[in-house]
Amino acid sequence: MLRVVVLGAAAGGGVPQWNCGCPVCLMARTEHPELRSTQASIAICADGAHWFLINASPDLRQQLTVTPQLHPKAGQLRHSPIAGVILTNSEVDAVAGLLSMREGSPFTLYAHERVLAILRSNSIFNVLNEKNVKRQPVEVGSAFEPTLPDGAPSGIEILPFEVPGKGAWYLEGKTHPAGGDGAGDTLGLRILDKASGKYGRSRRDRKPQGPRYRG
Ligand SMILES: [Zn+2]
C-alpha cells in the first residue's frame, strides 16, 4: 500500500512568511496559530519502512521533527528511514532542505539532469558528498523505480512528466548551467504503487496539527 504524508502545503515562504504583514500572516503570528504552515513537500512509502521525499523544502528539519515515520529507528545511533529525495525542480523551495541532510547518512537524489547540473554548479551542495548521496538522473516520459539502500526495488514506480514552469528565479538573466530550452526544469510526477497497481492519493494519517509549526 502506498502511504503519503503531507509534510507541508504552503507556497514558498510558508505561513507566516518572515517579512509579510498581510492579514493571514498577522493572524498566523497571533491569535490563529492553526494557520501556520510549512512549505510544500510530501513523503511516500510502499513497504512501511523506507520513505522517499518529494522535494526538500527549507522547512524540512521542522517537518522531520514532527513526523514520527521519518525518525531514526529506535535503538540506533545513526539511522534514517529516508532512502531518497526526488526533486521536481531546482527552486529554493524544493532544494534548500537538502542542506539539512548533510550529516553523512546515505540516500539517493533523483532529479532531471538540468536540476542536477544546477546543484553541481552551486558548490554549497557539495556538503552532500557523492560517496553518500548518489545522484540519479531521471527523464521526462521514462518511468523509474527508486531503490532501497541495499539496492532492492522500492515497489514505487514514478513517471516524470513535463509541466509548465520556469527555471529557478535565481537563474533569471543568467546562463543555465545545462544550457538548452528549459525542458525538464519543472516536472510533474505520477506515482504508482506497483503491488496494487494504484496511484498515490494523499491522506492525513496524523494529528491535525502534525505537519504545521507549533506555536
Ligand atoms: Zn502573508
**Cα 113 to ligand 1 centroid, rounded to whole Å:** 34
pLDDT value, residue 110:
98
Q: Which amino acid is present at 100?
A: S
- Residues 103/124, Cβ–Cβ less than 8 Å: no
Q: What is the pLDDT of residue 37?
A: 96
CB 41 within 8 A of CB 60: yes
The whole-chain average pLDDT of the chain stands at: 90
Distance of CA 47 from the midpoint of ligand 1 (Å):
38
Given this model, what pLDDT does residue 160 score?
A: 96
Distance 14 CA to ligand 1 centre (A): 9
CA 97–ligand 1 middle distance (angstroms): 22
Tell me what pLDDT residue 180 has. 76
Decide which of 178 and 185 is more confident. Answer: 185
Residue 59 reports pLDDT greater than 70: yes
Tell me, in angstroms, the distance from the centre of ligand 1 to residue 9's CA. Answer: 15
Confidence category of residue 211, pLDDT binned at 50, 70, 90: very low
- Please tell me the predicted confidence (pLDDT) of residue 200: 60
**pLDDT for 215:** 34
